[in-house]
A and B are shown apart, each in its own frame.
Chain A
Amino acid sequence: MENTNPTLGILFQLYQSLLVVLLAPLLTGWVNQCRAWLQNRSGPGLLQPFRTLRKLFHKDAVIAHNASPLFRVTPYILFGCMWLAAAIIPIIAVDLPFSPAADVIALVGVFALARMFIALAAMDIGTAFGSLGARREMLVSFLAEPALLMVLFSASLISHSTQLPRIVEVLAHQQFVLYPSLAFAALAFVIVLLAENARIPVDNPSTHLELTMIHEAMILEYSARHLALIEWAGSLKLFAYISLGIALFFPHGIAEVGNWGAVPAAILALLGKLLLAGAGLALLETLLAKMRIFRAPEFLGTAFLLAVLGLLIHFLLGA
């Protein structure tokens, strides 16, 4: 931690926080745009998520009579959790002031907290769709969470730390080594990412068909600014997951400890990686078909299997 400049550190931390909150809807827009191109449509443009958000913020909120305070605070908690998660994952520099908080287990906990509140809020109104969506969400996430933890443990075993900045530091700035266990973990992580962000093989965010929807069923009762915050939190969650993936599997190019001059280059590298990741996600979503809800456990079981295999291979080969 030599020549660490605290003011500059805090400045960059603030910068990253602002960057993620503005980039997240752009990333969602980019994924949608890529998907539209792949499906031979012209697409709504990159800024469409911002337009939707502006529209929603200008509307008047309608809240059910029997909604409890929990229902009102949930969008703020959700947004806060996701913003926090996205802001502390080391994506531009490894030693930002908040980065000691970026422990992988704590991150999983933050995601779990947000999920618990949205599931409770969905059941709060008492509509059939809300509880149905909450139940399905819990089914998917209770299978996805162990797989995610296993993925994170594979990375932690390599760097002997559950601190995300330390993991990134080890993977990005040491001699290049091929890690078969990380290859497995990356595959598992992609599956978890698809499932947790309500992406196509598990859930389809653009449908309101009661037989298939999971995430949409939970937020059916929200409107106006609450809905805007939830949508924004969804974008932030996708952003957080993708940046977690970048941090674990492709951290090369991130600024080293104390080397603040490398931050602009790191931001450019990050943008490039985000563009690639978004395009890849759109490609995956175009190639895959939505699976039946009862096939989702099998899909997520595969993720868990891959992650466990990665761990075992780490123990066998020491790599």
Chain B
Amino acid sequence: MPMTYTVQFINLLAAILLLIVFAMLSQRRILSLINLFAWQGLVLSVSTFVVAYSTVQHHLYYSAALTLLLKVLVLPWLLHRLIRKLNVRWDVETLINIPTTMLVGIALVIFSFNLATPISELSESITRGLIGIALASVLLSLLMMLTRRKAISQVVGFLSMENGLFFAATSATHGMPLVVELGIALDVLVATFIFGIFFFQIRETFDSLDITHMEKLKDD
């Protein structure tokens, strides 16, 4: 099965994307987590650009540019600003058992690869093999949201899940219509703003960003 260099390159980028999600899953420092998120955005943007170039789909150039602007520059900048203002820049999260999380992660990857194989066969796009990887990064980001206790890392997990979905859309169907993409991009941006306000509210009420405190809201 001879593959052109563009397809090989996209495959490599997809593999790097998966690697970054795993790195996020095991990262304890909030600052590094945000940097990893920026890298993920960059890889996503480059892969969208390569898909656009190889399939001559002009609207994908716009989404690549949008991704670059929003997910590599604006969102990480917003998050950096947030953690600086919240003074949690050097916070280290005490995670439960990273090896176990990793094993669950591998199981998720196997599950999503299996799940994606029949879907991939329906698609005619050159990048159909990547649906499995996209699905795996969505599920892994979800896992990250489940295992984290700090509000900021959960938000990064949410954003990374959106990245996975975006990658799935690009690889399976050559991207959604531009209107939809613009809408999602705006949603994510607004969501981050709202999350920022939430962070301040949470900290004001509980003196901490650890969301386990929220379980104590019940009357007693």
Q: Which residues of A contact B98 (CB under 8 A)?
A: 298, 301
Q: Tell me if B9 counts as interface (CB < 8 A to partner A).
A: yes
Contact of A309 among B1, B106, B130 (CB under 8 A): B106
What CA separation (Å) do A302 and B19 show in the bound complex?
11
Q: Which residues of A contact B109 (CB under 8 A)?
A: 309, 312
Q: In the bound complex, do residue B132 and residue A316 qualify as a contact, i.e. CB atoms below 8 Å apart?
A: yes
Contact with B along A124-146 (1 / 0, CB 8 A): 00000000000000000000000
Q: In the bound complex, do residue A319 and residue B8 qualify as a contact, i.e. CB atoms below 8 Å apart?
A: yes
Residue in A closest to B129 when the chains form the complex, CB atoms: A317
Q: Tell me if A100 counts as interface (CB < 8 A to partner B).
A: no
What CA separation (Å) do A216 and B214 show in the bound complex?
50
A180–chain B nearest beta-carbon distance, Å: 3
What CA separation (Å) do A181 and B15 show in the bound complex?
8
Residue in A closest to B131 when the chains form the complex, CB atoms: A316
What CA separation (Å) do A318 and B117 show in the bound complex?
12
What CA separation (Å) do A31 and B84 show in the bound complex?
40
Residue in A closest to B8 when the chains form the complex, CB atoms: A178
Q: Tell me if B102 counts as interface (CB < 8 A to partner A).
A: yes
Q: Tell me if B118 counts as interface (CB < 8 A to partner A).
A: no
Q: Taking A178-B9, A178-B12, A180-B12 as contacts, is the C-beta distance between A319 and B102 under 8 angstroms?
A: no
Taking CB atoms and an 8 Å cut-off, the chain B residues in 1-31 that contact chain A are 1, 3, 5, 8-9, 11-12, 14-16, 18-19, 22, 26
Q: In the bound complex, do residue A180 and residue B11 qualify as a contact, i.e. CB atoms below 8 Å apart?
A: yes
Q: In the bound complex, do residue B1 and residue A318 qualify as a contact, i.e. CB atoms below 8 Å apart?
A: yes
Q: Tell me if B51 counts as interface (CB < 8 A to partner A).
A: no
Q: Which residues of B contact A180 (CB under 8 A)?
A: 11-12, 14-16
Main secondary structure on A side of the interface with B: helix
What CA separation (Å) do A312 and B117 show in the bound complex?
13
Q: Which residues of B contact A317 (CB under 8 A)?
A: 11, 14-15, 129-130
Residue in A closest to B3 when the chains form the complex, CB atoms: A319
What CA separation (Å) do A276 and B15 show in the bound complex?
26
Contact with B along A290-310 (1 / 0, CB 8 A): 000000011001100110110
Q: In the bound complex, do residue A305 and residue B15 qualify as a contact, i.e. CB atoms below 8 Å apart?
A: no
Interface size on A, residues (CB 8 A): 21
Q: Which residues of A contact B18 (CB under 8 A)?
A: 309, 313
Q: Tell me if B177 counts as interface (CB < 8 A to partner A).
A: no
Q: Tell me if A183 counts as interface (CB < 8 A to partner B).
A: yes
What CA separation (Å) do A298 and B99 show in the bound complex?
6
What CA separation (Å) do A318 and B1 show in the bound complex?
9
Q: In the bound complex, do residue A316 and residue B22 qualify as a contact, i.e. CB atoms below 8 Å apart?
A: no
**Closest 5 CB pairs between A and B?**
A180-B15, A178-B8, A301-B99, A180-B12, A317-B129
Q: Tell me if B110 counts as interface (CB < 8 A to partner A).
A: yes
What are 30 A-B pairs with beta-carbon distances under 8 A?
A177-B3, A177-B8, A178-B11, A178-B12, A181-B15, A183-B16, A184-B15, A297-B99, A298-B99, A301-B98, A302-B102, A305-B102, A305-B105, A305-B106, A306-B19, A308-B106, A309-B15, A309-B19, A309-B106, A312-B106, A312-B109, A312-B110, A312-B113, A313-B15, A315-B113, A317-B14, A317-B15, A318-B1, A319-B3, A319-B8
Residue in B closest to A176 when the chains form the complex, CB atoms: B5
Q: In the bound complex, do residue B12 and residue A183 qualify as a contact, i.e. CB atoms below 8 Å apart?
A: yes
Q: Tell me if B38 counts as interface (CB < 8 A to partner A).
A: no
Q: Which residues of A contact B139 (CB under 8 A)?
A: none
A179–chain B nearest beta-carbon distance, Å: 8
A195–chain B nearest beta-carbon distance, Å: 15
What CA separation (Å) do A317 and B15 show in the bound complex?
10
Q: Tell me if B133 counts as interface (CB < 8 A to partner A).
A: yes
Q: In the bound complex, do residue B15 and residue A183 qualify as a contact, i.e. CB atoms below 8 Å apart?
A: yes
A313–chain B nearest beta-carbon distance, Å: 5
Residue in A closest to B100 when the chains form the complex, CB atoms: A301
Q: Which residues of A contact B116 (CB under 8 A)?
A: 316
Q: Which residues of A contact B26 (CB under 8 A)?
A: 302
What CA separation (Å) do A44 and B18 show in the bound complex?
43
Contact with A along B76-117 (1 / 0, CB 8 A): 000000000000000000000011001001100110010010
What CA separation (Å) do A298 and B9 show in the bound complex?
30
Residue in B closest to A313 when the chains form the complex, CB atoms: B15
Residue in A closest to B12 when the chains form the complex, CB atoms: A180
Contact with A along B103-147 (1 / 0, CB 8 A): 001100110010010000000000001101100000000000000
Q: Which residues of B contact A183 (CB under 8 A)?
A: 12, 15-16
What CA separation (Å) do A226 and B19 show in the bound complex?
44
Q: In the bound complex, do residue B129 and residue A316 qualify as a contact, i.e. CB atoms below 8 Å apart?
A: yes
Q: Which residues of A contact B132 (CB under 8 A)?
A: 316
What CA separation (Å) do A77 and B1 show in the bound complex?
46
What CA separation (Å) do A177 and B7 show in the bound complex?
11
Q: Which residues of A contact B130 (CB under 8 A)?
A: 317
A197–chain B nearest beta-carbon distance, Å: 23
12 further A-B contacts with Cβ under 8 Å, apart from A305-B105, A312-B110, are A178-B8, A178-B9, A178-B11, A181-B15, A184-B19, A298-B98, A301-B102, A302-B102, A312-B109, A316-B129, A316-B132, A317-B14
